[in-house]
Structures are given as structure tokens and as C-alpha cells.
Amino acid sequence: MAFQADRCDPARAEAKVLGGVIVEARGLRKTFAGGIEALRGVSLAVRQGEVVVVVGPSGSGKSTLLRCLCGLETPDAGEVVTDGARLPGSRRDRDRIRTETGMVFQHFNLFPHLTALANVTLAPRLARGLPADRAEAEARALLGRVGLKDKTGAYPAELSGGQQQRVAIARALAMRPKVMLFDEATSALDPEMIGEVLEVMRGLAAEGMTMVVVTHEMGFAREAGDRVLFMDQGRIEEEAGAAEFFLSPRGERARRFLSRML
């Protein structure tokens, strides 16, 4: 598969300078009511500036892993440490992880009663205590960065899916997170809108944002990912550099998954 080989530049991984570990998960386990074991001992370390892509069949625990990383789920066992703050932990730690971890949801979850601008300024004003004019200036800059400079006054219902998701990304960035989590950010979008969101995500990756991305977009995983985790049945089955994973998956299950996806 020659086209794959020349698309992933082997020199790139070396060229990117990664910092120390900023997000670490150790032995995460989570069983939901009803006995579904979503996570069966997941450990992971993400270094600063790294883009980790998590792939796997649905129901493999990818989303639960992300939700544990940002504090939306409390694991039954194991812990998450982000920039020194621990989960499960004190309220202070929980609040620090919430504000330092940006989350982008599959269904955007924009606040429908607020304009795009107000969606972006809300959290900085309330949780970071930024004065309104500064929050607004920052929000305008962020909305410009995701290509929505002229949509600041629009309500979510007046925006397309792709535009809504870009507002959601700007909203998460407004808290100046140390790491961004993307939970199937393009899965709810019409095909023609996926590109504009992936474009923004690629831009973020190129700027050195630390990212954990759950996605079914294998093209994005290959091009923007530094490392790929393949999850199945609540475990990380395989872990490899993005180029290596797509060229030669080791396990049988990963190979079968890839043959279905590509």
C-alpha cells in the first residue's frame, strides 16, 4: 500500500517535540448499572503536545474513557492525574481538572438560549472570573480562529451542524485548557461538514495542543495522530505510532476493525 507509506512522513514524529506527561490514567475500571463493563483496567499517559487518537468498535469503552478523563464519570477503580490534579480527589482537584480539560461532545451541546459569542464567553466569565469585555475580545478571536467571525450574534439553531461544532470547540478553548478531548466530534455531522471541523482540529494539533481524540475518521487519525490506541471490550488492545498502526496492525481484532473502516 504505497499511498499509505508516503502519506505518513516518518520524519514527522521525530520532528515534533513532546513535553512531559500531562494526563495520566491508571487502571481505570467502570461498570455501569446493568452490569456493562465499559472499562476493564485502562492505563494511558499523554505527553504535552501529543495527539492521541482512540479508535475501536462502538461499545469498546472509548467514550467512557474520555468521560473519566474530564470528570464526567467517576471510575470504580483507578485514577486520573491531570497536571497534578487527581481524580477521584478533592473538590479543588475536580474543579481544576474540569477547567483544565476541554471537552467537545458528539452532539455539540451548545447552550441554545445563548448566541455563539455568549456561548464562548459564559465559562470564562463565570469560572475564570474574566471581565466581560476581555472575555468578549478573547471569544471574538477564538470564533475568528474557527472561521466564524461573522456568526458571533447567531443562535445555535441558526447555525449548521459543522458551525455549531466549531463554536463548541471555541467554547472549550476559551477556558484555555491544557488538554482537549474530542468525543466523536464529527459523528453527528453531515458528510459535507465533517471536513471543516477536522480542519479546525488539525490546526489545533499543528499548534501543539495536547489532544485525545475519539474518532471513526481514520484519515484524521493517520495524518494528525502521533499515537493510536485501539480499544476493544473495555481494554486497550493495541498501542502504536499512527503510521505503524495503520501500516501493520499487530492483533487480529485490530486488523479486522481496520479492514472494516478503511
Partner 1 sequence: MSAAPKTRVPFTRRDAALLALAGGGAALFLWRAGSGPAGGWSWSAILSFFVRRDEAGGGPLPGILLEGLRTTLALSAWSMVLALVLGAAVGLLAARPQGGARPRLLRRLCAGSFVELLRNTPPLVLAFLFYFFVGDQLLAALGVEEAARALPRGGQRLLAALAAPPARLVAFASAVLTLALYEAAYIAEIVRAGVESVERGQWEAAYALGLSPRQRLARVILPQALRRSVPALAGQFISTVKDSSIVSVISIPELTFQAMEIMAGTQRTYEIWLTVFACYLLLCLALSLASRRLERRLSAGGRR
Q: Where do contacts with partner 1 occur on this chain (CB under 8 A)?
A: 70-72, 95, 98-99, 101-103, 105, 107, 109-115, 122-123, 126-128, 155-158, 168, 171-172, 175
**CA angle, 189 then 195 then 199, to 5°:** 125
SS3 track for 44-62: EEEECCCEEEEECCCCCCH
CB of 151 to partner 1, least distance (A): 14
CB of 176 to partner 1, least distance (A): 11
The SS3 of residue 128 is coil
Ranges of H-type helices in 70-176: 91-100, 116-127, 132-145, 161-173
CB of 144 to partner 1, least distance (A): 20
Question: Which residue's entry shows cell 474518532?
Answer: 215
CB of 143 to partner 1, least distance (A): 16
Between residues 81 and 180, which has the closer beta carbon with respect to partner 1? 180
CB of 70 to partner 1, least distance (A): 5
Between residues 66 and 236, which has the closer beta carbon with respect to partner 1? 66
Question: Which residue's entry shows cell 474513557?
Answer: 65
Query: What is 229-257 written as a DSSP string?
Result: EEEETTEEEEEEEHHHHHH---SHHHHHH
Q: How far apart are CA 201 and CA 69, in angstroms?
A: 19
Between residues 107 and 235, which has the closer beta carbon with respect to partner 1? 107
Between residues 125 and 255, which has the closer beta carbon with respect to partner 1? 125
Between residues 61 and 249, which has the closer beta carbon with respect to partner 1? 61
